[in-house]
Amino acid sequence: MRSTFFLFIAIICFLNARAQQSFTISGTVEDLKGRKLPGAGVYISGSRFATSTNNNGSYSLTLTPGSYELGVKMIGFETKVVKIVISSQSEKMDFKLVEQITNLAEVTISNRPANSKYVSQFTELFIGTTPNAQLCHISNPEVLVFDYDRVRSKLSAHTTDFLVIENKALGYRIKYIVETFVYDEEKKSISYKGSSYFEELEGTVIEQKKWNLNRLMTYYGSPRHFFTNLYRGEVEKDGFFIAKITNKPNADRPPDSLIKSNIKRLMLSKQTESGLVDFSKGDSLSYWMKQKEKPLFSAELVAKQILTDTLVHDAGNQLKKISFKDQLYVVYKKDREDPLYKNSLNPFLIKVLNMPKTQMSMIMMLEDEATFSSNGNLANPQSMFFSGYWGWKNVADSLPSDYIPVAM
């Protein structure tokens, strides 16, 4: 019995050691002529892992298994970001950086005082409007370059260097390379792409305790929290409820073929000798034109918990993947939505679900599948679109990918 006990303990220790096992990603950074580049910044996007190359242009970072974006930033060169997967061994990744060709017009724009209107608009859209966002500040707006397309009503932006965001709510300094940012005023949609890393702010003991509490509150109910529990198969245990929204043919809309044939027939009959079509309010043509405007599909909520084993599958390299059609409705039942949040979800769907005083979000797939790690990080954040409560949260409510929640 004694030997069996010690064998059991040995197995547990072995499994824990494997779970905590880490590997290195290392290499060199040089220019296209093969000259080593000392002082280049090397970082894991979205994390606190960052270093710089030594005099020989070499770097090294220690990471646990997972999928990462490795970025390299050097003044005078184009920023480079590559995807890497650490599974069961250390990896080597060398970089050859391309010298940056600066557009003269861009230099002129970036050297001018930043347009306050665009900076304010960008800050609200990029950082957010949550309570955490109110304690964020952009230290160097001069690195922002804006372009506004008046015809398409689109605001675009990118940065010429790291955009530095001081987050006094969570105690982080975020350094963000914004590759692309587009706000479509007509569609009210935002899309952006880039890479970043986090630095801890220095603070008093009282400030650090407050930051730790705010980080914990920000984590609970977040996509990171959800996908961590989804990885473990403990979604219900931690207060999440998943329902599915399916798109069914709109019963109030006649078949598309019938609509088109009637419009064609009536337009030909109403066409005058001049080639113009005579529209009269309330006539048959007007009726069929209205039918054409009706949506092809209507959303229907399946108000029952979805079994996670039908959604999640093993993707290899200690990653898991999720794939689904239509949309998922995710409810976090352990907390309510902030009073500042204005619900953007369909009131009918909320009524059917009948779960007041909760946080409600929706997920829509943008790719065939999405992979994620044990700590809830998506390998490709652009593989999904969040709306509802999660859609309200933005950069001000982001935590480093290596953040580990510790209850206080």
Higher-confidence residue of 304 and 187: namely 187
Higher-confidence residue of 73 and 251: namely 73
Rounded CA-CA distance 213/405 in Å is 10
The dihedral over CA atoms of 350, 352, 357, 359, expressed in degrees to the nearest 10, equals -50
Has residue 109 got a pLDDT over 60? no
- The rounded percent of the chain whose pLDDT value lies above 90 is 59
Range in 239-243, 268-272, 360-364, 380-384 with the lowest mean pLDDT = 268-272
Higher-confidence residue of 34 and 283: namely 34
Write the DSSP assignment of 60-127 as a string of letters: EEEE-SEEEEEEEE-TTB--EEEEEEESSS-EE--EEEPBP---HHHHHHHHSPP-HHHHHHHHHHHT
329-375 pLDDT tens trace: 899 999 999 999 987 776 766 666 778 889 999 999 999 999 999 88
- In this prediction, residue 342 carries a pLDDT of 86
Contact 118, 148 (CB under 8 A): yes
- In this prediction, residue 163 carries a pLDDT of 97
119-139 pLDDT tens trace: 999 999 999 999 999 999 999
- In this prediction, residue 178 carries a pLDDT of 96
Cα-flanking dihedrals φ and ψ of residue 309, to 5°? Answer: -70, -10
Amino acid type, 332: Y
Q: Which of the four pLDDT bands, split at 50, 70 and 90, describes residue 18?
A: very low
pTM value > 0.85: no
